[in-house]
Amino acid sequence: MERRVIGFLVVLLQLVSCVGALSGNASNSGSLYAAFLLSNGIGRTPPMGWNSWNHFHCRIDEWTIKKTADALVSTGLAALGYKYVNIDDCWGEANRDSRGNLVARKSTFPSGIKALADYVHSKGMKLGIYSDAGYRTCSKTMPGSLGHEEQDARTFASWGVDYLKYDNCYHDGSSPQNRFARMSYALRKAGRPILYSICEWGEQNPATWAGTLGNSWRTGGDIQDKWESMTSAADQNDAWGRFAGPGRWNGTVSFLFL
């Protein structure tokens, strides 16, 4: 059962090809933010765990998340550092509630995200969630966080979320640096340390700027669950190694085959 739950989907969320020192040209504000990240204890080492998207896509529910958390513990992977259990796209209802809040999809997450986070935490694990720096998420099935950054950051914190993957679909055409910065500042004020993973797809060399905003950033496009995809991603990350360090990591999503 546990191997069927995990399949090929135990994920090393950040594949770091070179853990280099931060560039000496970092701005003062970037340095201050790095200090803020480290003071919260977030991302001192590359975050590792599991993400639902590559295998399950939108076919995700709270029972799969619970079984995955159980399997990561029972197989010993959690003890090796695979601590994050991350829900990707499609977890929410198509529309916000009357107060403008994101709402977990009742058909697949009937207990709500807070109860799910409590369960994952009881196993000694951390829960991740997904949103988007646009008006809709990439699946188009639920709202993005553009224009609702502070509200959504507070919601995630109140649920006990530990990790936010923030995607780049269906936005207003404005600079990604600006859109991703807005969520960065919102997370600072949310009242809970939340690892911030910037999923800009590597289009504007995020290694050169995302370290002033978040804990990790995606350096390339989608991958596939085969070794050739993983090794090519590692090669790609070699160019960005000097931008990596505690609290801020280059990376992409890669798979460990079980």
Residue 235 a catalytic site member: no
What's CA 238's distance to the chain center, in Å?
Answer: 21
By C-alpha distance, which of 251, 174, 258 is closest to 210?
251
Q: Is 84 exposed, middle or buried (0-12, 13-18, 19+ CB in 10 A)?
A: buried
88, 162, 167, 235: the catalytic one is 167
Helix extents (H) in 112-243: 113-122, 149-159, 176-188, 227-237
What type of residue is 8?
F
Q: Is 251 exposed, middle or buried (0-12, 13-18, 19+ CB in 10 A)?
A: buried
Strand partners, 126: 84
Residue 132 a catalytic site member: no
172, 222, 235, 238: the catalytic one is 222
Just list the catalytic residues.
167, 222
